[in-house]
Structure 1
């Protein structure tokens, strides 16, 4: 029952992260296309067409890189729960291949505990950082997007990653199930 809830949490976060990444890709494509179209329309003989396109709002999306920065941060944290649950982190097994299953199980448990501690630490520091951004009212340069909103979205994903990584560490420590 708990494992199913943890798995569902990890999958929902990964889907949200994927959705955000897809939206960011679409936004970047639209922004780059608008920038190129605007540049083309403003070159030489197409000057009047360029003025008309600007009036229509054709051009780059203002603050696109600011939105990409916030969205990618969320997506990274959103993918962590599923990555941790599946044990899909990148690893180098040059030495561990030669060791027996007991040693590999112990190494897996050790790294699950370390990863849980690191994710909890990052989550805590993300919370502290969000509090600072809220207190000082920091915004992005171009669109004046409150920076703490991106921190809050990332914090929700990081809390999910913390829950999943603690679950994985406890499961490994107690030997209840192999993840």
Structure 2
């Protein structure tokens, strides 16, 4: 058992380094495109791209609307890195692990909801300026359901651990 736990801890440490490396590359790519090419690459919205190319709309204002998405991506990476650090230290069922699970899940839910609202707002903004785009509110029900299920599973794991700890104290 100890041998497999050590192996899991080493894998978590390696995976943490890989996540850090890939995240660094992705954020470097995003910064490069913003600074050198003048493009925002972390939002997938046709209306955003059309507004960005328009001369009637400030790039600064559009960019500021996307900052919560960028912050959410950074926060998601933080939760993953923190969780993997706990795992590499052998703390698989520590309360901090559940904090990381919940933080990651709620960050992802907030990102999905903000992205939906932002895309709706950008569609509406483009429509009011040019009267040529359809305004649509897209809600990724499947993704929200999956994230909600993950939140419930994380809560159940935490509750099961608390029950196990109480049973150990009782015996």
The question of a shared fold, defined as TM-score above 0.5 by the shorter chain, is answered with: no
Normalised to the residue count of structure 2, the TM-score between the two structures is: 0.40
Q: Which has the higher contact order (CA 8 A, sep 6+)?
A: 1
